[in-house]
Structure formats: structure tokens, C-alpha cells
Amino acid sequence: MRFMDSPLSPAPAFDTPVLDRRAWPMGGRLDYWTAPDGWPIRRYQLGSGARGRMLVMGGRGDMIEKYLEVIAHWAARGWAVTSFDWRGQGGSGRLTDDLLCGHIDDFADYIADLRALADDWRALGSGPSAMVAHSMGGHMLLRALAEGMTPPDAAVAIAPMLGLHSAPLPRWLAVMVAQRMIRRGKGRLRAWTQKEDSERQRRMRQKRLTHDPERYADELWWRDHSREIALGPPSWNWVAQALESTRALSEGDGLTQIDVPLLILATRVDQLVSTPAIRAAAARIPGAQLHVYGREAAHEILRELDGVRLDALGRIDAFLDEAAR
């Protein structure tokens, strides 16, 4: 493993086209891909593919709209970019009657969707292939690779959810609480409250995600103008599944079997996912490269202030130029 733990450095940063972050880029295609069980998964495609094909995966509660800026960046660099909303969030429907509750019965459903969608994605063209995944998407990418999914030519995981930041509760107590709530029949209910109109809670949430209030405001704008894509807290069952899936991945041998050039970006002060778990996982994946930012970066590294965001894009693009040829 190549390990890097430092403040911003003069990594190559590439200019990105001027983009209205509150509008869909010209030339893209928004449609629905149908999962093997018939579930509709909202999908977006942009770019010529002259450079190759890229699959972009967001995190829990995310929607495609949050990452239009980086999708447009990679499309401008010649990638045919495909992104999608995970089952039960964004524009891919809901799994409970509570439209703001992020529920899943089993993380295996996410993995099944990813494997089938990736199979179809590979058939869309030829040339170099890359997968880029954030947070929960990073967990799903690494778990799927650990379970034998056909790898791309290169992969990037950004603040991957390889352990949850459960403070102030220790992990064992968080597991106990989630399991107890499920036994009490509350597995499909929200694990915590989220006051949608609370300015204080919005400021607290922004600080956990990004130092950039304007990019955070973009997310709120999309949520307010397309309420069907808005999502709130996860269900207790999602929490239990996240705790179990991250435990199983960390304790199993699958990470040592991943055979793909891999870059991991993380931040030392992440308040949502465990940076120590990311370090431990990166040390077990053959050839993985890890860069850890300091206090300048919160969880959403690709939606940070431009100093961090452009540094991260520079590192990713330089890595893909070398690994996906």
C-alpha cells in the first residue's frame, strides 16, 4: 500500500468547465434501468466515451444531482459517465411509506443491483473502465469487488463507509441498540429525527459534510425543488445492516483478494465514517493507494471548497491516467 497523510500538496489539478450546479448539463440522458427483480433504478449518462467508461456511485441519501459537477468534469475529460440512485433513495423509489426514511431490508440488495447494473454498463462500450464511489457507495464497491464482481481497470473510493462513526456510542452499543429497535418492530422506522426546517440542524449537517456553504445550498435547492428525491435519516434496519456489513468486510478475507488498481481518499476528521477503519482496510488491499486529508476536508471531499476539491480531482485524474489505459 502506498500511504499518504498530509495537507494539500501540489498534486495536478485540472480546470473544470463552468457549470450551473442547479441545472442538468446539456447532452445527458436521464432514464431508468430495471433491476433483475423489476425495481426501477434512476440512471444518468453523460459524455462521449473517447477516454473510456466510468461508473459513479453516490452515498447514503445522495441523489445524482449532487454530483453533476464532477460528472460534467469527467465527461469533459472524455469519459462516458454513468451514475445512478441507489434503490430506495433519490429517484429510485422508496421502500417504506415514509418518503423521507432511507430503508433497505438487506445490503445484499444493493450488491445485487450494482453487479447487474455494472454488467449492463460494461456492455455499453469498450475501452478503459473506471468506477468511482463515495461513502456508502465506496463500501458497496469494495464489498462487491471482495465478493468477486468483475473489476474495472481502475477504482476510486472516496471517504468509503468501511466503519461507522457511531460516537458518542461505542460500536458494540450501537449494534445492541439497533438490534433492539428491530426486535421491537421498529426496523422500518427512522433511526433518528431530522427537523427539515431547522436552520441550526442544517448548519450542523453542513459542517459534517463540507466546508462549502454554497455547494451544500445546492443540495438543499435540489431537495426543495424536487421533493420526490429528498431523503432524511436511515431506518433502524439500514443502521443494523451497515454495522454488520462493515464488520463482515473488515473481518473477512475478501479485501485481500481485491485485484484492481485502487485509490482511496479520506479525511482525518470525518464525522460520518471511521477513518481508522479506512486505514486498516487500505493496508489489507494489495497495491491500494491512500491519501488522507486533514481538517481542510469534511466527509464530502468532492463537494468541498475548491482548494480540496480540485486537489482531489487532480489526484483522481492522474491516478486514472496511469491505471486505466
- 266-319 pLDDT, tens digit per residue, is 999 999 999 999 999 999 999 999 999 999 999 999 999 999 999 999 999 999
209 burial level (CB within 10 Å; 0-12, 13-18, 19+): buried
Sequence-ordered list of residues with C-beta below 8 angstroms from that of 62, at least 6 positions apart, any chain: 85, 86, 89, 90, 134, 135, 137
Please name the residue that has the C-alpha cell 457549470. Answer: 19
Report pLDDT for 33. Answer: 98
- DSSP 3-state of 275: helix
Instruction: Please list the ranges in the chain whose pLDDT falls under 50.
Output: 10-13
Which residues make beta-bridge pairs with 30? 44
Q: Give the whole-angstrom CA distance, residue 309 versus residue 311.
A: 5
- Predicted local distance difference test score (pLDDT) of residue 198: 82
Query: What mean pLDDT is reported for the chain?
Result: 94
Indicate if the alpha-carbon torsion angle 319, 320, 323, 325 is positive or negative.
negative
Residue type, 135: S
Distance CA 184, CA 7 (A): 46
User: Angle at the Cα of 165 (from 162 to 169), degrees rounded to 5?
Assistant: 130
90 by DSSP, 3-state: which? Answer: coil
Residue type, 193: T
For residue 197, what pLDDT is reported? 74
Confidence (pLDDT) at 6: 52
| pLDDT value of position 319 | 98
Tell me which H or E stretch contains 87. Answer: none
Residue 29: phi and psi, rounded to 5, are: -130, 125
Residue 63: name the closest of 82, 85, 80 by CA.
85
Can you give the pLDDT at residue 193? 86
pLDDT at residue 13, rounded to an integer: 47
State the Cα–Cα distance between residues 311 and 43, nearest whole angstrom: 28
What single string gives the DSSP state of each residue in 238-260? Answer: HHHHHHHHHHHHHHSSGGGG--S
Please give the model's pTM, rounded to 2 decimal places.
0.94
Query: Judging by DSSP bridges, how do beta strands 262-267 and 129-134 pair with one another?
Result: unpaired
